[in-house]
Amino acid sequence: MLDKILHYIIRRKGKQMRPIMIFLTAGLVGDISDKCYDGALTIELLHSATLVHDDVVDDSYQRRGAFSINALWRNKIAILVGDFILGKGLTWCIEKKEYKFLELISEAVSAMSEGEIIQIEKARKLDITRDVYFDIIDKKTASLLACSAAIGAASTTKDEEIINDLKQFGRDLGIAFQIKDDLLDYQNSNIIGKPSGNDLRERKVTLPLIYALEKNDKSVQKKVLKKLRKKKKSSKDIQELTQFVKENGGLKHAEEVMQEYTQRAYDRINKYPKSEYREALIHYISFVTERKK
């Protein structure tokens, strides 16, 4: 069964953005080596494990245009498979004696788990502030991209200043990445592989909605949150919530904030000497913020 499930996961691999990040940051500051491949393998195993677990947490039955593991084999098996994949990634680090990788990955796993717990708690209470939102996306999304950038650097240099600088680059880009995801959720099509308005259905309060709520008084906020609290929202509910966000400039504001973090990422990369890797990272940043899915 395990062999069958793992083959199912491998056949439906995604864009592999995090391993690509490792190769590009490694090349930016040094030479691609076997250590770089070890890091890329480990980070893709970690990411695959988190996706399997995320689908269980979110009660999601689709992943990358196909059935999720929990949809086909149910939650118990999905959780155990996710644990198995994560364990393999950590074991690989130990076998290769890549203890710096292990340190970075352990830090990312802890942050991602904490971010997920905070988001679940706040979704119940619907008391997400701007600061809490950024704390969640920093932990849930940006931490893994930051880990990838740092592993790439650590595979070729022991200079902690460079490793930390590229780690921050990954964090800035990761925040921009998540805001872009939040914006895509307001699109009127299904090109992103999940229903439009999915975050609203799951009572996830993201930056566009936070800004729209900030623009209104408590009476309006109360009405909007009452609609958001409904367990089963109709298409009309989603349409009205989406319209509220658009009319109050939520999408425009989120776009502006995303561009601020994008510029931070560009500024960090542009400090490094010109090379094909720096050029590729610039294209990588553009892809993250201009993608359609």
Domains of the chain: 2-290 (1.10.600.10)
- Quick one: which of 157, 142, 178 has its CA closest to 289? 178
**Helix and strand element counts for the chain (H, E):** 14, 2
Q: Give the model's pLDDT for residue 188.
A: 55
Question: Which pLDDT tens digit goes with each residue over 149-172?
Answer: 999 999 999 999 999 999 999 999
What pLDDT sits at residue 194? Answer: 42
Dihedral, CA atoms, 148, 112, 183, 65, nearest 10 degrees? 80
pLDDT of residue 166: 97
Contact present, 169 and 149 (Cβ < 8 Å): yes
pLDDT of res. 164: 97
For residue 23, what are the contacts with CB-CB under 8 A and spacing of at least 6? Answer: 32, 36, 40, 152
Q: What is the mean pLDDT of the chain?
A: 90
Q: What is the pTM of this model?
A: 0.89
Give pLDDT < 50 ranges for the chain. Answer: 190-195
What pLDDT is recorded for position 282?
97
* pLDDT number for residue 192: 43
